Structure 1
């Protein structure tokens, strides 16, 4: 009897030891990914996150993610939303976004205006990793962080003095197409004595005028280089004095000693102080508190609307991408490594709204985006960051087909219009169902000949009707997105 009891106790001890070993193995193997999603305004961040979550939580109820290996190989079990870790960060409003897409009539979800988070728990069956010896079912925790690309454009400011930033910004404001809109504002600044005692009321008034200019540049002119980014997407900083500064022209003509010794209560002293405070308390703080945690990043870019807007808009997108990517050197020589030592190992560039052109134009879309990021992409690859570019549509809004025109087969797309990209109609006003060939996307950076002969006609489409929140949303290459960003963590 004693031998039997001893055997039972021994077995229990072994089972307990095995359970602890399995727990330790599960904890030591990487089972957590923090995915950062960013892009300039109207690049489709909200739709992207909504679709990504929708595809995972509804897999098995609808369209298969055929290029996502965990699904293709039968290892995917289920995914669900779970409470996020950071209670002080706003939650990404998935429910409102999916309701907008599945309402009648369907509408695009409201864009986000600051940082937000959402957490998923993804259960899968390990197939090839050491984890398969410890458990039949593993859980990958996916934290998704959404933040505006405009905030990313602020990063180069960390390397600039107020004088350098003012000179750079003034050069932009006096160039086409910004010059005409900036004229009155610059005249007001020319009348200020930089060393006079500052009026906070006047500073606030001029800062608001500068902010209005930034909104004009972004939303009326379709430009991408907007600094400081928090001015148009202030979040919880709206109305704070830290957002009440602006570039001051002509600083290079001032005596260096006078400029350096300008009192804090002078116009130039107060502007300089607020600029420095913005860099430290807004820009650097964001990257220390959030960017440091990111494992993987997707940058969404809408190349179609700038093509439609014209040469100046597209050139500004090119400048914005170079500014963003200049700071995306994650290797030993990059600014991020020196300041924050980030751990990002995969970077995906998504050319969005691929469904707004015909399918054979997807390859040129990828080639064009690769051209925009070419030099920096080479550096990122060299620094051992895996980089990929895809043409995607997070939520497919059109159907593609072939139409006859003068006896020839022409590829076309069909969808419900919202209005042309230069329309002044509110986004909720719908046009008619149309069938169209929008034009060819250039596979190289456009030259002058392209802009003179271009007849590209990018059209905004509303979401398809009849979508169901309990089924996978129609998409273009979201399975390839998941494959690149998550599949290696689910083997």
Structure 2
């Protein structure tokens, strides 16, 4: 037993040592992928792995320099180092995509990862002395966007967070959804009781789910309430913001207010800080997927909520250029890619406005990032293309259109509408006429790389400098 434990410890140390060596040599990179609700991150990771595995044989990635130059020898999945983290369900995702009828992969509910080994011919003069063929290990880490949106809570007190929620509840549509947990009135000094508070937390959680599903909101806090995973039923997930009459003076231990505040702090310490230390602080590069189309469909309130969510995301990043010494001992994100997903759900001439809109949404945060030395980029892409470009005719005139199959199996040919190139003013919403439909995947061959739009541009931005 003791020998087994010693062997396991030595194996972990060896893996860690190898990881350190690879980081110093720029042979290892951790790419984190997250997204706001329904942005398609599971499809994105599935497509990224698929493109890398097919690159050397069936590569359709002209914007990826290393492949275009013939220097990519191949890529394959290899066992991940973090055995305590679930493996990303890549094969299951392909089964869905190649099914009859095709379907989108099931979204992941927590952290998952997959490791790839890329072999390539180096152009770097120093590395050539060690051998012309080099290896880059890429860890793709998938995690829920709700967890990223929780990070700003680390800088907030219970009182500040409660005030933020009170401000949100000024909106009539949120007040209506919140009625079940806003009443009856609670008193800050009343004794804490486990069961009533657990029931109150359940009603608050149902409210958060309704905000997400019925109103299409993205700024859902605390994020673990809607994606609890192994912590479902834990007391630190049983608290609510204080939206009733504030206490006078400092509430005594054991009162309702003091206990809710204590649980908020426990949530921050164990879940939010834990996520930061165990995962976020170790990421080298980050991809954030944003579906701009559904909020445009849903209206001004949903779009405004997406704006706030993106602003909070920009607050979450520990900026700082990652030189080799700091990357070894204190890794920091040095590249940040924002993706306007589902570019295939609009006609091609709308891709440029999609990028422009996303750039406006992240503008303030990008300025700070650039000042700190982090490189940012905005792209419009479709990780898995689900439509074809077509033409429609109305009143004897042609119009640009896309052709695809709805989630219910109906064949569609339509022009979804024009994407605004900047953040729309209030009066603009009265005249918009969007019809952004959801499409299911097209029938595809399992023997070819998945069809995409500009996924190669993402690969070049994320991996290009590591493949020199």
- Asked if 1:434 corresponds to 2:412, the answer is yes
Which of 317, 323, 339 is residue 312 of structure 2 equivalent to?
323
Q: Does 1:363 align with 2:340?
A: no
Q: Distance in 1 between matches of 2:170 and 2:29?
A: 44
- Normalized against structure 2, the TM-score is what? 0.91
For structure 1, the residue ranges without an aligned partner over 5 or more in a row are: 1-23, 419-429
User: CA–CA distance in 1 between the matches of 2:265 and 2:365?
Assistant: 28
Task: Tell me the distance in 2 between the aligned counterparts of 1:342 and 1:166.
Answer: 33
After superposition, the Cα gap between the structure-2 partners of 1:329 and 1:376, relative to the gap in structure 1 and judged at 3 Å, is farther
Q: Alignment partner of 1:460: what SS? A: coil
Q: Counterparts of 1:109 and 1:195 in 2: how far apart (Å)? A: 48
What's 1:488 paired with? 465
Alignment-derived partner of residue 183 in structure 2 = 187
Distance 1:129 1:207, change over 3 A: farther
Q: Which of 447, 456, 472 in structure 1 is aligned with 2:434?
A: 456
Q: Return the offset for 1:130.
A: 2.0
CA drift at 1:134: 1.6
CA RMSD of aligned residues (A): 1.8
* Cα deviation, residue 68, structure 1: 0.4
Deviation at 1:136, TM superposition (A): 2.6
Cα deviation code 1:182-222 (max 9, x no counterpart): 1232122x2x2221111101111010110000000001110
**1:437-488: per-residue Cα shift (whole Å, max 9, x none)?**
00000001111232100101110000001x1333210001100000000011
Aligned to 2:151: 155
Q: 1:243 to 1:205 in 2, by over 3 A?
A: same
Q: Determine the structure 2 residue equivalent to 1:17.
A: none
Cα distance, 1:102 vs structure 2: 1.1
Shift of 1:362: 0.5
- Give the SS at the match of 1:117: strand
1:394 to 2:383 alignment? yes
The yes-or-no answer on 1:133 pairing with 2:133 is no
Pairwise CA distance, 1:95? 0.7
Q: Could you tell me how far 1:342 is from its partner in structure 2?
A: 4.4
Kept after mapping to 2: 8 A contact 1:364/1:441: yes
Q: Secondary structure at the match of 2:117?
A: strand
Specify the SS of the correspondent of 1:154. helix
Aligned partner of 1:173 among 157, 169, 172: 169
Given the superposition, is the C-alpha separation of residues 150 and 57 from structure 1 closer, same or farther in structure 2, using an over 3 Å criterion?
A: same
Shift of 1:399: 0.3
SS in 2 for 1:298: strand
Q: CA deviation at 1:397?
A: 0.3
Alpha-carbon distance, 1:132 to partner:
1.9
> For 1:277, what is the secondary structure of its paired residue?
helix
Tell me what 1:352 maps to.
341
Separation in 2, partners of 1:410, 1:91: 45
CA contact (8 A) 1:54 1:473 kept: yes
CA distance in 2, matches of 1:98, 1:213: 34
Q: Does structure 1 residue 277 correspond to structure 2 residue 270?
A: no
Whether the 8 Å CA contact 1:392–1:477 is kept in 2: the answer is yes
User: What SS does the corresponding residue of 2:107 show, helix, strand or coil?
Assistant: coil
The 8 Å contact of residues 68 and 482 in structure 1, kept in 2 or not, is answered as yes
SS state at 1:153 partner:
helix
Work out whether residues 188 and 247 of structure 2, in 8 Å CA contact, stay in contact via their aligned partners in 1.
no
Call closer, same or farther: CA 1:341–1:134 in 2, change over 3 Å: closer
The DSSP-based 3-state class of the residue aligned with 1:33 is: strand
Q: Indicate conservation of the 8 Å contact 1:25/1:134, yes or no.
A: no
Give deviations 1:140-177, integer Å, cap 9, x for gaps.
00011111111111111111111111111122123132
Match of 2:31 among 22, 35, 39: 35
**C-alpha distance in 1, partners of 2:405/2:261?**
49
Correspondence for 1:233: 227
Structure 2 counterpart of 1:18: none
DSSP-derived class of the 1:258 partner: coil
Deviation (angstroms), 1:329: 5.0
Deviations 1:83-115 (A, max 9, x none): 000011111110101110111110000001111
Q: Is the 8 A contact 2:29 2:284 kept in 1?
A: yes
Larger radius of gyration: 1
What is the rounded CA distance, in whole Å, between the counterparts of 2:207 and 2:406 in structure 1? 29
Residue correspondences, number: 443
What's the TM-score once normalised by structure 1's chain length? 0.87
Whole-angstrom CA distance in 1 between matches of 2:456 and 2:23: 28
Question: Superposition pairs for residues 62-461 of structure 1, below 5 Å?
Answer: 62-188=58-184, 190=185, 192-250=186-244, 253-255=246-248, 257-259=249-251, 262-263=252-253, 265-328=254-317, 330-331=319-320, 342-418=331-407, 430-461=408-439
CA distance in 2, matches of 1:305, 1:454: 13
In 1, Cα distance between equivalents of 2:21 and 2:383: 36
**How far is the alpha carbon of 1:248 from its aligned partner?**
1.2
Q: Is the 8 A contact 2:320 2:333 kept in 1?
A: no
Aligned-residue offset at 1:326 = 2.0
Distance across 1 between alignment mates of 2:140 and 2:202: 33
Is the 8 Å Cα contact of residues 329 and 380 (structure 1) preserved in structure 2? no
1:63 shift after superposition: 4.5
Match of 2:451 among 447, 466, 474: 474
